[in-house]
Amino acid sequence: MVTAKLFSAFVAIASLVDCGVNAFDDNAARSKAVYQVVTDRFALTDASASPTCDTEDRVYCGGTWKGTEEKLDYIKGMGFDTVWISPIVQNINTTKNKLGEAYHGYWTQNIDVLNSHFGTEADLKSLVTTAHSKDMYIMVDVVVNHVAATNGQNFQADSSYGPFNITSRDFHSFCWVEDYTNQTQVETCWLGDENVALPDINTEDTSVVSTWNNWIKSLVSEYDFDAIRIDTVKHVRQNFWPDFVSSAGVHAIGEILDGDPAYIAAYQNNSMNSVFNYPLFYAIDTAFNSTSASMSQVVSALNNNRIQFKDTTLLGNFISNHDNPRFESHVSDIALRKNALAMIYGVEGIPYIYYGQEQGYTGGADPANREALWLSGYDTQKEMYTYITTMNAIRGAAMNASSTYNNNQATIIGQDEHNLVIRKDPVISIVTNRGSKASNAGMSITNTGHSSTELLDAVSCTTYTTDSSGAFTASIKSGLPAVFIPSSQKGNLCGTTTAATTSSPASAGVREVAYSSFVLAGMISVIALCLF
Ligand code: ABC
Ligand code: CA
């Protein structure tokens, strides 16, 4: 009796105290929406300052952890709950001209010291604490594969490299990674170049291995990080990772920069549960790149992924990051941009959005894709800021409506050359690459799983009612995506809604009904113009 009372008192107290258990397991990870920042480029400590930042100079522009902390509401305002920050450890100080500086954080020197450009230990802890107080999470980027050096193959480790100070023991002997198809070379040779070599850590040595495992364990507990993003995963032997990830004790997502699903899947299946969905990235990048591309490769990528990966619901989906030209750098049509985003939200997986997408940033290849965000003024009225907010809100409403939403795989319930209809219960998404100049179209949708139900397209705030078989005719305007959820489950989506006028009951099949005739009409008028 007394014991029971004591126990319930303990439970009551425990639930009031923040025990620091914010880290998420796989199931919790599936519900997260991640916003990636480049710490140096995201936000300054002094919010009133707005220094120029020429990406081509490749130097520190001044972003800090304090700055990130102060802009958490800007991130949360779009519906993100997780922030992926740049690597936090001390980096090399480049002194040679034209090398650029380690502003991105990937040029490790000493893993036991913080990068003072980004702030102090107290600042970093404050960022995590403040995030947690807002029900937000911090994912830290970690680099295990290498350190960095400016003297190329003449690199000699010393005490400035912290625990990795014995050249012969802690590093693989010099050779450049030149052939990415040679896995031994990929794992044991060095990345980088003559300017900034990335001496390859000897992850076969048992004392190196225990240094890493102890380091990640204490790093996560010291700063109370919730998740880690692991760099250059394919450059370290696969069986190094399970112990490292379990030492971290938090969700880990690995970067394996490769388009081949079979190759990447081995890492999810054997090493860490979550990896970036590079195969889908490449497929989306091509399919939504132009109005003449075909959707079929997106469908193949989805199907191949499901064959190869043990769990596609844990993949990190993205269309932009710091290593590739922004999607927006080669796709200017806002309709195509919106569709590409609707695609990653429409299928299974965890959405990752790269800072600046919401401001319409268009930087090309590294270093151009790492623009300073303060130059945008953090405008929360921007069209893409609002659109991304809608995408996250639909996802949130779907999660509220269905406890299995994050575990559901998407099904393609309609497909032709330029359109896909994706069902991930209870949400139906229509994506198209017809572009914003496309004529309006009516599209017949069947097999929605919602019979005689009012559905809300939360992108246009238009409602439709399905017939008893679950069919309806959606109208697609200006090549925009449409994302439907039952009105009864819409939560806060769309203040005012308008009933669709074209929602006559559809016939079976997923052909676009009015689309072909509109296109035909367009062609006829073009011909007429040519004639006269
Ligand atoms: C920059 C410039 C360089 C310059 C250097 C001084 O500075 O880009 O041109 O010479 C960091 C910085 C970079 C910096 C590098 C090198 O360090 O962010 O700005 O380069 O100093 C991770 C991070 C990345 C980080 C590092 C290094 C690794 O995300 O930000 O870079 O810590 C490889 C690695 C991958 C790595 C990437 C940059 O390089 O595997 O982990 N990313 C093929 C290979 C890939 C390779 C990729 C590089 O090329 O297979 O392994 O990535 O472009 C698909 C294929 C793929 C193929 C792609 C291109 O096409 O399926 O296999 O990828 O179809
Ligand atoms: Ca290696």
40 is in an annotated binding site: no
Q: What's residue 502's pLDDT?
A: 56
pLDDT of residue 3: 42
Residues ≥6 apart with Cβ < 8 Å to 271 = 233, 238, 239, 241, 242, 245, 254
Question: Of the listed 170, 226, 255, 258, which one is catalytic?
Answer: 255
Sign of CA dihedral 45, 47, 52, 57: positive
Ligand 1 and 104: CB distance under 6 A: yes
pLDDT in tens, 365-385: 999 999 999 999 999 999 999
Residue bearing the CA closest to ligand 1, atom 58: 258
Length of the chain counted residue by residue? 532
Give the ligand whose atoms come closest to the C-alpha of residue 185.
2
97 is in an annotated binding site: no
Mutate to test the pocket of ligand 1, among 57, 178, 257 (most ligand atoms within 8 A of CB): 257
Contact 143 CB / ligand 1 (< 6 Å) = yes
Cis peptide before 367 (omega within 30 of 0): yes
Give the pLDDT score at 4.
Answer: 43
Indicate which ligand has the atom closest to the C-alpha of 208.
2
Under 8 Å between Cβ of 94 and 196: yes
- 40 counts as catalytic: no
Model pLDDT, residue 24 = 80
Whether 505 and 452 have beta carbons less than 8 Å apart is answered as no
Q: Which residues surround ligand 2, an ion (CB under 5 A)?
A: 145, 187, 200, 235
- Longest CA–CA span in the chain (Å) reads 96
Q: Is 70 tagged catalytic?
A: no
Measuring CA to CA, which residue among 29, 23, 82, 25 is closest to residue 348?
29
Ligand 1 test: best mutation among 323, 354, 369, 371, most atoms within 8 Å of CB? 323
- What is the DSSP-derived secondary structure letter of residue 323? T
Q: What pTM, to 2 d.p., does this model score?
A: 0.92
Three-state secondary structure call for residue 294: coil
User: What would the pLDDT profile of 113-131 be if each residue is shown by its tens digit?
Assistant: 999 999 999 999 999 999 9
Please tell me the distance between residue 381's alpha carbon and the centre of ligand 1 in angstroms.
34
Q: What are 364-367's contacts with CB under 8 Å, separation 24+?
A: 364/325, 364/326, 364/329, 364/330, 365/324, 365/325, 366/322, 366/323, 366/324, 367/55, 367/56, 367/58, 367/100
Q: Is 169 annotated in some ligand binding site? A: no
Annotated binding residue 107: yes
Positions in the chain whose pLDDT score sits under 70: 1-22, 97, 502-532
